[in-house]
Amino acid sequence: MPFDANLVLANSDADWTFANLNTSNYGTPTSTTRNAGGFAVLDLGSTGIGGSVRGLAVVLIFMDSAAAADDALTCIVEESTTEAFTVPHELAKFDILAATKGVIIGSEIPAVVIRRVSPTLRYLRIDASCVAADNFGTVWALLTPYPFKVL
């Protein structure tokens, strides 16, 4: 994997299931220390990544098929001035066919989804949730400062 820990919003430590994302609350990290689900808040200031004028890309990689075609995942990129995300600011929502804005459904994966963001605050995270019994399997959430070719 070409991404170091400073560029991984969520790794594959735990599948993206209702039990992990919602019940155990792994899907809403509030610390730069990686939680048991593999999610962490990224500190753009201390890592030296910062915000590029071209922005950054958040890449979701869905490795598996969902448990059911109608499974629904809500996934949002947020930024904050505090690591605990006491007042989060939404930067982008992920969807593929936009059946419902900000929701990826099970029939759309496996897939790779990329959203460009331009953070202005220090901390960045993924906030992911789904509804009971949903299972999206192995998912990576990565950040890259080089999402697009520069001409």
Q: Which domains does the chain have, with CATH numbers?
A: 5-144 (2.60.120)
The sign of the dihedral angle between the CA atoms of 150, 48, 58, 93 is: negative
> Residue 34, SS3?
coil
Report pLDDT for 147. Answer: 61
For residue 142, give both structure tokens: 């990565």
Report pLDDT for 100. Answer: 79
pTM of the model: 0.88
User: Which stretches of the chain score pLDDT less than 70?
Assistant: 1-5, 46-53, 147-151
